[in-house]
Copies of this chain bind each other. A is one copy, B any other.
């Protein structure tokens, strides 16, 4: 196959369900993961963690651990501070110490680190460490945290990474890490004038991401650079943050990420990389830390949230005004929580065309493990609340759930709560397609006797993170094959394949001619991170721009040597120029979308480069004698713009749906005084293959994101949006029980059935 620019792929690179480029590596067990990495002289690190939720540290006794044969070193914060005087890190706030300094703020907080060549020795030594604590009052509930005297951090320390958080610097004696407010119109006045006002509260639980690959990092202190191999979704950020901590130039830190065994936000920004990096520098040897499953429950969790929604509605079901209050339980360290609060905040009223809106969203510090990003970045929690609320209004007004949505949804060109006009947002199309697939307007078999059936629909939307930057290099070899250097992490979502398809489409060459280089900050340029369904759009643009730059340079080269790049094979152009198979054409692409920051009222005319839309229809069967229910059908529809690779898009939708199904039905971290009481996969149950609903339909609705690369947009999260409320509404439809707290359990349903029947169970 000899590639000619624009001629060699029959236009079939984009939009085809080609196999993933990494399929062979994965099924043969040869794909590289950080877990597989062993370096000469490498030490294993084991973390000694706090057993109390909030306490002053009187002392840490590491003497026995240090004396255990085989132990190379034991470090506490004092050791860390020899190298890094102020060892606090974090993306939104520099609030998290590498190892606890003076205080611990949650159970599981790293207090000391043992290094040994044998991981079992490190483990045994860690168990010989003891700490003496003076316990302090703790706060665990996010709403209580608003006013609690138990203050987790004395002073707020925003990181400066995100300029919109800077104003919080230096605030004292508050657990509010961020408060986001949006005002549009006059909600209070509208409530006063409305026919009906409804107000409901909802709660979501703290959950875990559970990527199949637990978090793992290896740091290698080579003479010229500190090389960090890490299972991270954000190699560029890790490099910048480690360089900042060490006071080094970025170029002295090299971050490499091979494949990831799932991310889902659990591996975003920076987790234990700082501890591993500093330990490796102190030890002068490579250091590896891999978390156990139990440790992950204390390191990487997701916000619980309390949500209150109040709507003023006309008697025919038009929503006139909405007030949302959201309290996010951020745990002891901010991680990216303040951004979740802010970025999900402005879509809290849902995909509805509401004239008067008031939103107050709070990121709260509590004495729980730090909460960070998780697939959906707060949106599934919001959709859970506002779509349950929508159906509760509909039921109260005796309006059909589809009809109330048709009346209120945000249509193309209308302003969203921020004032940003909706563009290329298929809310209407997705809703109508859902109605079709659900045969919503046909008769539905509601069951009989003790087996009752019900159905529900829900629709949600999400803005993309903005503004963020992606840079890529497309390198054309003299034989016409192509290397793509980009820092997008393939964590199972298929980004390698998608980027190869976009580059192949842009150059008009076969996908097989394109090879991806995995993230390595020395050679793959900056990318903000692999998060928020941003890669297809942002990095997709960057690789497309890079490919176009390469194409332009190739056309210019051909012209220079008297050939036409449109008809002459690429190798012939190089050969004419260089006299042999030689040279490279290197194209560069850099992309940052336009963006307008919100004003003090939260208003902006450009809140996001694109909108993600997802809707779910659910059918359930409920046993009224036990409360047991099963989801018999789940229909998931997503506006993905033009799908880069339909088969991969389908797995993104189904994967997102199943993940949200777990959060809807079974997953919840249970706490006792800040201690997780179900920190194992035996007790914390994620969905298995038998939990897949008998009928599950996933569809990418036919749309085009005009501003996207070849019409594409992000798709990794949209499948999560509608799952929880659709199922809750289906249960209510079946047995008249409205659950307002996740997860939805048989017990709660049974209690509802009994209460409806006037026979409530005692607690």
Residues of A within 8 A of B (CB): 1, 21-22, 24-25, 28, 30-31, 36, 40, 161-163, 222-225, 236, 240, 243, 249-252, 467-469, 471, 473, 475, 477-483, 485, 512-515, 517, 520, 522-526, 528, 577-584, 586, 588, 590, 592
Known: A469-B582, A483-B523, A582-B468. Is A515-B30 also a contact (CB below 8 A)?
no
User: Can you report 6 residue pairs joining A to B where beta carbons are below 8 Å apart?
Assistant: A163-B579, A224-B515, A249-B481, A468-B582, A469-B578, A478-B526
For A163, what are the chain B residues with a Cβ–Cβ distance below 8 Å? 579-580
A410 to chain B, nearest CB (A): 27
Among B249, B483, B526, the residue within 8 A (CB) of A522 is: B483
A444 to chain B, nearest CB (A): 49
**Docked-complex contact A249 and B479, CB < 8 angstroms:** yes
Contacts A22-B223, A25-B222, A467-B579 aside, 9 further interface pairs with beta carbons under 8 A come to: A30-B223, A249-B479, A249-B481, A249-B512, A250-B477, A250-B479, A467-B578, A471-B584, A523-B524
Cα distance A515–B592 in the bound complex, in angstroms: 26
**Docked-complex contact A513 and B249, CB < 8 angstroms:** yes
Among B161, B224, B485, B515, the residue within 8 A (CB) of A21 is: B224
Cα distance A520–B468 in the bound complex, in angstroms: 29
Cα distance A223–B30 in the bound complex, in angstroms: 7
Residue among A28, A478, A583, A590 with most chain B CB within 10 A: A583
**Docked-complex contact B485 and A523, CB < 8 angstroms:** yes
For A517, what are the chain B residues with a Cβ–Cβ distance below 8 Å? 522-523
A466 to chain B, nearest CB (A): 10
Q: Which chain B residue shows the least CB distance to A523?
A: B523
**Docked-complex contact B581 and A480, CB < 8 angstroms:** no
A155 to chain B, nearest CB (A): 22
**Docked-complex contact A481 and B526, CB < 8 angstroms:** no
Cα distance A513–B250 in the bound complex, in angstroms: 9
Cα distance A418–B661 in the bound complex, in angstroms: 79
Rank and list the top 4 A-B pairs by shortest CB-CB distance, nearest first: A249-B481, A25-B223, A251-B481, A523-B523
Cα distance A520–B522 in the bound complex, in angstroms: 12
For A477, what are the chain B residues with a Cβ–Cβ distance below 8 Å? 249-251, 526
**Docked-complex contact A225 and B515, CB < 8 angstroms:** yes
Residue among A243, A252, A584 with most chain B CB within 10 A: A584
Cα distance A473–B471 in the bound complex, in angstroms: 14
**Docked-complex contact A584 and B251, CB < 8 angstroms:** no
Residue among A28, A225, A473 with most chain B CB within 10 A: A473
For A225, what are the chain B residues with a Cβ–Cβ distance below 8 Å? 515
Copies in the complex: 2
Among B240, B250, B523, B577, the residue within 8 A (CB) of A520 is: B523
For A252, what are the chain B residues with a Cβ–Cβ distance below 8 Å? 481, 515
**Docked-complex contact B481 and A250, CB < 8 angstroms:** yes
Known: A249-B479, A583-B471. Is A223-B525 also a contact (CB below 8 A)?
no
**Docked-complex contact B582 and A528, CB < 8 angstroms:** yes
For A478, what are the chain B residues with a Cβ–Cβ distance below 8 Å? 240, 250, 526
For A24, what are the chain B residues with a Cβ–Cβ distance below 8 Å? 223-224
Cα distance A592–B478 in the bound complex, in angstroms: 15
**Docked-complex contact A583 and B578, CB < 8 angstroms:** no
Residue among A223, A483, A512, A514 with most chain B CB within 10 A: A223
For A578, what are the chain B residues with a Cβ–Cβ distance below 8 Å? 467, 469, 592
Cα distance A24–B223 in the bound complex, in angstroms: 6
Cα distance A320–B283 in the bound complex, in angstroms: 71
Cα distance A149–B478 in the bound complex, in angstroms: 42
**Docked-complex contact B525 and A475, CB < 8 angstroms:** yes
A500 to chain B, nearest CB (A): 10
**Docked-complex contact A25 and B251, CB < 8 angstroms:** no
For A475, what are the chain B residues with a Cβ–Cβ distance below 8 Å? 523, 525
A514 to chain B, nearest CB (A): 7
Among B25, B251, B523, the residue within 8 A (CB) of A482 is: B251
**Docked-complex contact A588 and B590, CB < 8 angstroms:** no
For A468, what are the chain B residues with a Cβ–Cβ distance below 8 Å? 582
Known: A481-B252, A520-B523, A523-B517. Is A580-B224 also a contact (CB below 8 A)?
no
Cα distance A480–B473 in the bound complex, in angstroms: 19
Known: A251-B515, A479-B249, A522-B483. Is A31-B586 also a contact (CB below 8 A)?
no
For A485, what are the chain B residues with a Cβ–Cβ distance below 8 Å? 522-523
Q: Which chain B residue shows the least CB distance to A578?
A: B469
Known: A479-B243, A578-B592. Is A525-B584 also a contact (CB below 8 A)?
yes
**Docked-complex contact B224 and A526, CB < 8 angstroms:** no
Q: Which chain B residue shows the least CB distance to A512?
A: B249
For A25, what are the chain B residues with a Cβ–Cβ distance below 8 Å? 222-224
For A581, what are the chain B residues with a Cβ–Cβ distance below 8 Å? 161, 240
**Docked-complex contact A582 and B515, CB < 8 angstroms:** no
**Docked-complex contact B224 and A22, CB < 8 angstroms:** yes
Cα distance A1–B471 in the bound complex, in angstroms: 25
Cα distance A17–B352 in the bound complex, in angstroms: 68
For A243, what are the chain B residues with a Cβ–Cβ distance below 8 Å? 479
**Docked-complex contact A583 and B523, CB < 8 angstroms:** no
Cα distance A478–B475 in the bound complex, in angstroms: 22
Residue among A25, A471, A515, A524 with most chain B CB within 10 A: A515
Among B162, B513, B590, the residue within 8 A (CB) of A583 is: B590
Residue among A224, A250, A520 with most chain B CB within 10 A: A250
